[in-house]
Amino acid sequence: MSFSRRKFLYTLGAAAAASTLPVKSLANTFELPTYSPLATSHSVGTLTPAAAELRFAYAAITWGGNDQAAIKDVSETGFRGIQLRTSVLTEFGKNPKGLRDLLDQHHLQMVAFSSGGVGINPGTESDEIAKHISNATFVRDVGGLYLQVTDSARQKGKTPAPDDYKKLGRLMAEIGKRSLDLGIPVAYHNHMNSLGEAPEEVDRIMDAADPRYLKMELDVAHYLQGGGDPVKAVRKFSGRHLFLHIKDVQSPLPGATEDLKHSYRFVELGRGKVDLPGVFAALAAIKFSGWCVVELDSVPDKARTPKESASINKAYIEQKLKLKV
C-alpha cells in the first residue's frame, strides 16, 4: 500500500476533527482549533502497517535551478520522490497543475518544498507568514506533502540574543499552524551559518515552538558540521521527525588552518564523515517510517553530472546500507 497524499490527508483530517481545544495565535488575536498529535510518517500507530517503511526521495538543489532536468534525472535514477525549491515557481508558480502533471508523468511524489528562511526582523512577521503560506498553498495544489523552512542567516560578528531563538520558534510554529490548515505540515531544517547551527541552538528553536505545529527535519550533515552527533539527534527528536535530509560532508578541507568548523563541502554518501550506518540503525531503533530525502548541494567533482552523483548516492544506499530506493 503506497503512502499517498490522499491517505495522509484523510488521517490528518480525522485527527483534526477529533480535537476541540482552542489554541491562541502568536499575536493572541484569534483562535484556531488544536490538533491531536500529527499523523506524520513516523507515527506507525496512525498508519497502516504496510506504510511502515523508509522511502527515498532526492533533492533538486544539485541541478542549480534546472528543475525539469532534475525531475527527469531523479526519476530515471530510480528515486520515488523529489524535493523542489522556489526556483520552480518561475515556470510553475501560476500553473501548479502543470507541475503536478509533469511529476505524475515521471512517477514522482513531490515530498517537500524548500520555502526558504524565516526572518525575525521587527515588523516583518506578517510578510514572513504570508510568504510561506503562499508556498504551502502551492505545495497543496501540486499534491506535495511537506513544507521545509530554514531560519535567519547568522550575522557575522553578532551573537544572537536568547530572545531571537524564542521569536523564531514561535513564528515558525505560527506558520506551521496556518499551513496545517491547508493540509501541509511544516518542518524545520537545521543549517550551518544560521541561528540553528549548533545543537544547543537547534534545541532552543525547537523548544520554543509548539510541537504540534513545527516538526523536525534533521539534516544529518549540517548537524554534524555544527558540532552535533546526528545518531544521537535521531533518537533525541524521536516522535518529532517529519522527514530527514540524508547527506555527507567532508571537513576540514585540505589546507585549512583556521575556522575549521566552517571549512567543509558536501559530498556523495559514504565519501564524508557522517556515520550513515549509525543514522539508519537509530532510525530503525525508533521505528521511523517515512521519507528520507538525499541531498547534495552541488557536485563536488565538476567532471561528474548531477545525475551521476545521484547514481553514486543510490548505489551507496542499496549496496552499503542494504536498503531499497
Q: Domains, the chain, ranges and CATH?
A: 55-320 (3.20.20.150)
| CA distances (Å), origin 41, targets 26, 183, 189, 205, 225 | 27, 14, 17, 22, 27
| Amino acid at residue number 120 | I
d(CA 314, CA 246): 12
d(CA 268, CA 298): 10
Per-residue pLDDT of the chain (325 residues), as tens digits, is 344 454 444 344 434 433 333 333 333 332 333 323 333 433 333 333 333 489 999 999 999 999 999 999 999 999 999 999 999 999 999 999 999 999 999 999 999 999 999 999 999 999 999 999 999 999 999 999 999 999 977 777 678 899 999 999 999 999 999 999 999 999 999 999 999 999 999 999 999 999 999 999 999 999 999 999 999 999 999 999 999 999 999 999 998 888 888 999 999 999 999 999 999 999 999 999 999 999 999 999 999 999 999 999 999 999 999 999 9
Please count the other Cβ atoms lying within 10 Å of the Cβ belonging to residue 99: 24
Q: What residues contact 166, with CB distance under 8 A and at least 6 apart?
A: 204, 208
DSSP 6-72: HHHHHHHHHHHHT---EEE-TTSS-EEE--SSP--TT-GGGS-GGG-SEEEEEEGGGGTT-HHHHHH
Helix (H, G, I), strand (E, B) or coil at 147: strand
Report how many helices (DSSP H) and strands (DSSP E) the chain contains, helices first: 11, 12
φ/ψ region of 220 (left if φ > 0, alpha if ψ in -120 to 50, else beta) reads alpha
> Cell for 40?
506524520
Largest CA distance in the chain: 59
Burial 278-294 (b: 16+ CB within 10 A, else e): ebbebbeeeebbbbbbb
Whole-number pLDDT of residue 36: 30
Whole-number pLDDT of residue 170: 98
Q: Is-contact 11 39, C-beta < 8 A?
A: yes
Distance in angstroms between the alpha carbons of the first and the last residue of the chain: 16
d(CA 289, CA 54): 5
Helix (H, G, I), strand (E, B) or coil at 195: coil
Burial 224-251 (b: 16+ CB within 10 A, else e): bbbebbbbebbebbbebbbbbbbbbbbb
Whole-number pLDDT of residue 53: 86
